[in-house]
Chain A
Amino acid sequence: MLKGKGYFCVTSADFMRLLIYFTVALLFTFAHQTHAQGLAPGILDGFMKGQRKASLAIMASQETYNTYYINTTETKNPNLGTVTTQALTVVGTYGLGYDLDLIISAPYIRTEASAGYFPKQEGLQDVSGTLRWEAFDYKLGKTRLSWLFAAGYSMPMQEYVSDAMVRLGYGSKNLDGRTMLHYKAGPFFITGQYGYIRRGQVTLDHVVNNYDPSQLNPNSGMKVNVPDVTELIVRTGLVTKRASLDVWGQQQTPRTEGTNIGPGIPFPTNGVGFTRVGTTAWLKLFGKVGITATASTILSGRNTGKSTRVNGGLVLGL
């Protein structure tokens, strides 16, 4: 447990600070879990939990869009109106070791369109489990640079409807691998990360019956591939013992071209990407209890809603 990391043996004040870092980390984790189009095992950040430390957070979010992208073209559809997605997410984090965290999250989602005939969808979405490992930690004067890796897996908790405009998620089982660089100097921090999300196949409710130019043999059955995505995230801000504030940008890019939203096209095969920016604030209330709020919006996208999202939640250190 030594491995040159003596500076992680901490005083109680340091410990409190760490706790704060973790709560902030958590907020980021689930701030991004609950997108109705489904998401990766979450945006992680560079703040480690600490050995045998745990926290639990409950987050509520609301996301709306009345414009969406067909491929990259903005579209409004009076047969859809405004789509509103609400989510309640529980996230637990536990420090397995001083350099290894386990993060588990599970959202319950309700999504609904204001016009047209798309039915409301409601239910448990994808449970995800992520291991985050701090591989390196360099001390550069009074600042610190760490290099982390994370691997996650997520899967639907039930066989929800994934082949519809108004849906809970992708319906695929996903593997998520990512690496990040985290730099902290006093209250200032900046984190950059790159991840790859491997999405598994989805079994549609029907035989593949649409036209695909590359489809030489149309007897492809009911399974389709969901395009993998790469993800780039940059976050920066200030963090103290009592509060934190930061801004972030997230870009997801489909690895393969996939299909575009259209009649007859299975939704899971669409290539989905977006550029989202947001800001997050955290405030310690008392003891180990904190609150957080996030607002974010999509600047550009591909086969997804041009949504804005707000969320808030309660974070408990255990």
Chain B
Amino acid sequence: MKTILTPILLSSLLIWLAGCTEPTIDEGILPFNVPSSVDADGGNWRTIVLKSAADIAVPQPLPITSDTYKTELTAIKNGILASTPEQNTAVNYWAVGGVVRWNQIARQLVAKYNVPPGYDYATGQVSPADAANPYAGPPYAARIYALLSVAQYDALVVAWRAKYQYNRPSLERQGVVARVPILDVPSYPSEDAAIAEASCQMLAYLFPNEVNWLKAKATEHKKSRLWAGASVPSDIKAGEDIAIALAPKLVERARNDRFTASTDPANTWQAALVKAPYNQTWKSLEIPERPPILPLAGNVKTWYDSAAIFRALPTAPPATTSAAFQKALSEVRALSDSRTREQWRIASYWENGPNTYLLSGLWNFLAEDLIRQGGQNELRTARTYALLNRAMQDATTATWRAQYTYFVPRPAQLDPAIKTATTMLNTPSYVADRAAVSTAAATVLAYLFPDEATRLSAQATEASLSGLYSGTQYRFDNEAGATWGTLIGQLAVTGAKADGVK
């Protein structure tokens, strides 16, 4: 008789396996950023929405010899000794970098709210867009990242100016052993509180449904710096006050950047389509047909010189009847018929379609590694993102302008046998925003991280080709986009060379 042990063991193994649970997505662990410089002259860097850092006055702090300060410091020291596991988790989370963390939070929220109105085939109804956020699409995402980065950057320039104006010594210089690496800059005002409050207020304006969640995040961020031993409450309060003074100026810019009109409620795009200077015009390939994505997003206020940007508006592509156009169309068809796995991968990697944080979000993600490797402090990180995201928003605005000027049909409209590896955005084809945004992003990042220029340039080239590989874009869409993106990237680089940063 066979021993009964083996089947019992096997059954146990089976039951044990069945008991395992697994998360949908594994989360990586980020290393702490160890900044390589403090940028003591940061208070003189050129601000973006503020005229200068002096626009916001930071009151003089109490001296460290005062009883009030001593009490604060003692409380922090005691707090470190009594910290709870939850506090430690928060400390470690935010120590990765406030600017980076809030950028991640923004990416999450963009992915959450970047939901185009859907069509319910069961009921035959178009489900309405979220009333608080009816703006899904690349222009929506690019604007959010730009506004957030600018808010963070301006707040930090003001904070840096006050830090070196008042020179309140860091807690570590006063014998506090912090729980995580702390940048050796004067502690007043707290850069983290400035980032937390500026990011929270900016995102609360952009995502009104998330106010409570954002406030909770900001509170945790600020408190984490007390638990970490990086700041005392008066440092935090001063940082917060900078952001409170700054936020209305950012909100005012956001209100007046013509973005809210980009949904085109009066459907003026239909008239524009009729008089489009192109021989055959775009139509929606969705079933049923839907209005295009944010038709007036090409009118959004730019961050860089709008005259220079729109002077470079590409001319119309060759007419659909021309041999040049037919050649471009048959290239898309040939790629669609014999797409390689690698071409599919490239198309998918750069797609970042509906319900994701979008292509501008991917570039923010890619920049994160560069920032970490470059050992950038909070201020420099904010500058990197502010340069990158302004250039990307302008590139998006520019391509939207071209798309709704020419209304060039997508390849699949003219050759229905073309199959696409990714979703086809419900927008005209020319100019390719993937190409323009990626080239602008790579140009800015190559200036900031010259060692990575070769790799960035290769990424931009791949991103530019991705639309062709996915079957949603002609080669001329990509080429025009890349040329325009380079120009917009150069405008950002010119600005970066003159903003006082060495």
Contact = CB atoms under 8 A, between A and B. Distances in A.
Contacts of B116: 263
Contact of B25 (A77, A120, A224): A224
A210 B111 contact: yes
Contact of B355 (A117, A135, A207, A210): A210
Interface string B111-145: 11001101001100000000000000000000000
| Contact size range, A | 35 or more
Contact of B121 (A3, A75, A159, A194): A75
Interface in A102-160: 115-120, 135-136, 147, 149, 159-160
Contacts of B354: 263-264
Interface in B291-340: 336, 339
Nearest to B21: A256
Contacts of A255: 18, 20-22
Interface string A56-100: 000000000000000001111111000000000000000000000
Contacts of A257: 24
B301 to A, nearest CB: 27
A118 B471 CA distance: 11
B71 to A, nearest CB: 34
Interface stretch (A31-39, A214-222, A233-241): A214-222
Contacts of A115: 287
Could you say which of B6, B24, B285, B471 has the most chain A C-beta atoms within 10 Å of its C-beta? B24
A205 B348 contact: yes
A24 B361 CA distance: 54
Contact of A211 (B26, B108, B352, B353): B108
A150 to B, nearest CB: 10
A208 interface: yes
A182 to B, nearest CB: 14
Contacts of B95: none
Nearest to A257: B24
A209 B14 contact: no
Contacts of B13: 177
B28 A264 contact: no
B463 to A, nearest CB: 12
A144 B424 CA distance: 59
A75 B419 contact: no
B351 A206 contact: yes
B14 A223 contact: no
B362 A227 contact: no
Contacts of A73: 122
A179 B11 contact: yes
Given A135-B7, A210-B356, A263-B355, A220 B26 contact: yes
B112 A209 contact: no
Contacts of A297: none
B172 interface: no
Contacts of B352: 206, 209
Interface string B6-32: 110011011001101111111111100
A224 B273 CA distance: 42
A263 B419 contact: no
B28 A220 contact: yes
A256 B17 CA distance: 13
Contact of A217 (B2, B28, B344, B412): B28
A147 B6 CA distance: 12
Contact of A216 (B27, B336, B362): B27
A207 B362 contact: yes
Contacts of A206: 348-352, 362
Contacts, number: 170
A136 B11 CA distance: 14
A1 B408 CA distance: 76
Nearest to A205: B348
A117 B420 contact: yes
B2 A3 contact: yes
A208 B356 CA distance: 9
Nearest to B410: A117
Contact of B412 (A117, A205, A264): A117
A163 B348 contact: yes
B24 A259 contact: yes
A209 B471 CA distance: 21
Could you say which of A73, A149, A196, A206 has the most chain B C-beta atoms within 10 Å of its C-beta? A206
B217 to A, nearest CB: 11
Contact of B353 (A160, A230, A263): A263
A227 B18 CA distance: 12
Contacts of B18: 196, 230, 255
A201 to B, nearest CB: 7
Contact of A78 (B118, B121, B122, B348): B121
A269 interface: yes
A18 B496 CA distance: 80
B419 A120 contact: yes
Nearest to B412: A117
B7 A119 contact: no
A225 B93 CA distance: 23
Contacts of B368: 219
A278 interface: no
Nearest to A121: B344
Contact of A228 (B22, B344, B412, B419): B22
B22 A177 contact: no
B23 A225 contact: yes
B263 interface: no
Nearest to B103: A218
A258 interface: yes
B355 A205 contact: no
A287 interface: no
A201 B345 contact: no
B203 interface: no
Interface string A186-219: 0000000010101001001111111110111111
A6 interface: no
Contacts of A211: 108-109, 111-112, 355
A178 B14 CA distance: 7
Contacts of B421: 119, 164
Contacts of A223: 26
A210 B110 CA distance: 9
A161 interface: yes
A314 interface: no
A218 B107 contact: yes
Given A211-B112, A225-B24, A119 B336 contact: yes
B216 interface: no
A-B interface, 3 closest residue pairs, ranked by CB to CB distance from nearest: A264-B355, A205-B348, A211-B111
18 contacts: A3-B2, A119-B336, A136-B2, A163-B348, A179-B7, A196-B17, A198-B17, A205-B349, A207-B365, A209-B361, A211-B112, A216-B93, A219-B28, A219-B365, A220-B27, A221-B26, A263-B423, A264-B111
Interface of A: 3-4, 73-79, 115-120, 135-136, 147, 149, 159-161, 163-164, 177-179, 194, 196, 198, 201, 204-212, 214-221, 223-225, 227-228, 230, 255-259, 262-265, 269
Given A217-B30, A255-B20, 7 more contacts: A116-B287, A117-B412, A177-B14, A205-B348, A206-B350, A211-B109, A215-B108
